């Protein structure tokens, strides 16, 4: 009975004030009713401006990323090289464009490689690897053939004869030294290659990479092996 009397004696103003405070906490917009539209408009303009700037920087980042990928590819993965001259006919013609790869590349027999320069020749050249370090090599002029590690090479890619008088003036060692490769052109009659002192044995550090595809002209596009 005493509890009921205590409840009834609670002032009504206090209950009303409590309700107002509670409502204010749940819905604070009642304090900003007059300025709500201005607040929303200002907020919208600010977000729109920041979005435009952010989009611009996103484009810049995408462009820089694309340029970086191209630079990395051209430096470490592939290059486009022009063929100059007739020493690789009929495999490659003058003015052909070839795709050259050089990532983790080590020259191997039969590879077509691009070389930065020869012993006394400053221009880049493109030739075929005939023998690599540690292999024995013999140019059999009498029988018009090349022998590597005691085996006569089968070379269906060469044009005409293996030599036809182009014997060269370079003293070729019986065994290819460490870090060197012996190269020749597929058009052996006119090729300036490891048979000549201007080119000599090629240092593997001077090998730019391996020619993989003919990229141009388009009618000759294809894999070289």
Catalytic residue among 87, 191, 194, 210: 87
Task: Give one DSSP letter per residue of 88-154, joined into a string.
Answer: TTTTS-TT-EEEEE-TT----TT-EEEES--SS--S-EEEEEEEETT-BEEEETTTTEEEETTEE--
Q: Residue 222: in which H helix or E strand, if any?
A: strand 222-223
Please pick, among 2, 40, 127, 159, the residue that the annotation labels catalytic: 127
Q: Which residue has the tokens 């050249």?
A: 125
Structure tokens at 215: 């990229």
User: Is 161 noted as a catalytic residue in this protein?
Assistant: no
Rg (CA), the chain: 39
φ, ψ dihedrals at 41, nearest 5°: -65, -45
The answer to whether residue 87 is catalytic is yes
Report, as residue numbers or ranges, the catalytic residues: 87, 127
């Amino acid at each position: 009975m005493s509890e009921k009397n205590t409840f009834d004696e609670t002032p009504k103003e206090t209950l009303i004030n409590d309700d107002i405070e509670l409502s204010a906490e749940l819905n604070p917009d009642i304090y900003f009713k007059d300025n709500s539209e201005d607040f929303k408009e200002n907020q919208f303009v600010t977000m729109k401006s920041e979005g435009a700037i952010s989009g611009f920087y996103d484009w810049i980042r995408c462009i820089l990323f694309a340029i970086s990928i191209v630079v990395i590819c051209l430096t470490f993965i592939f290059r486009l090289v022009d063929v100059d001259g007739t020493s690789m006919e009929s495999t490659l013609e003058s003015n052909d464009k070839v795709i050259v790869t050089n990532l983790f590349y080590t020259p191997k027999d039969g590879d077509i490689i691009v070389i930065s320069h020869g012993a006394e020749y400053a221009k880049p050249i493109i030739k075929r690897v005939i023998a690599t370090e540690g292999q024995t090599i013999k140019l059999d002029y009498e029988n018009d053939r090349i022998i590597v590690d005691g085996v006569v090479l089968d070379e269906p890619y060469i044009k005409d004869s293996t030599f036809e008088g182009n014997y060269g003036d370079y003293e070729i060692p019986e065994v290819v030294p460490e870090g060197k490769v012996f190269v020749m052109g597929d058009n052996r009659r006119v090729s300036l290659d490891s048979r000549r002192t201007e080119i000599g044995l090629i240092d593997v550090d001077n090998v730019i990479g391996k020619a993989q595809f003919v990229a141009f002209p388009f009618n000759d596009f294809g894999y070289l092996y």
